[in-house]
Amino acid sequence: MDKIILQKLKFYGFHGLMPEENRLGQPFHVDVELYADLYKAGVSDNMNDSIHYGEAYEMIKEIVEGEAKNLIEAVAEDIAQKLLSSFDLLQGCRIKVIKPNPPIPGHYDSVAVEIYREKSK
């Protein structure tokens, strides 16, 4: 299956279990893979035969910068469901939500959740 990849999308959101996360917010990064048959778009050179990644970006931004969630798992699920329901051509998607600065002690680059969802047949 072909895919469209959106990497390291950067947003500011208010997700987390700690009250200060909901009040102060923090950066979030999102990686997305959109699985679809892109052959027709490659031959036709017509946007109507593909998935408009600018529109996908705006949907992702609305979710990550929108209503606060306790878990990044819920953020990832909302993104996946929104994308799958919005694009007819989209067959599946992989969503990775990265929290670069979670309020936990230790030494690490980030924490993340990655999910894969498919359109039900």
Task: Give the pTM.
Answer: 0.95
- Among residues 61, 69, 96, 99, which one is catalytic? 99
Average pLDDT of span 18-27: 92
Q: What is the residue-averaged pLDDT of the chain?
A: 96
Is 121 one of the annotated active-site residues of the chain? no
Average pLDDT of span 83-92: 98
Q: Where are the domains of the chain?
A: 2-118
Q: Exposed (0-12), middle (13-18) or buried (19+): which is 74, by Cβ within 10 Å?
A: middle
pLDDT of 40: 97
Instruction: Let me know if domain 2-118 sits in CATH 3.30.1130.10.
Output: yes
Helix (H) or strand (E) holding 76: helix 72-86
- pLDDT-based confidence at residue 98 (cuts at 50, 70, 90): very high
Residue range 49-60, pLDDT digits in tens: 999 999 999 999
Residue 121 above 70 pLDDT?
A: no
Residue 84 above 70 pLDDT?
A: yes
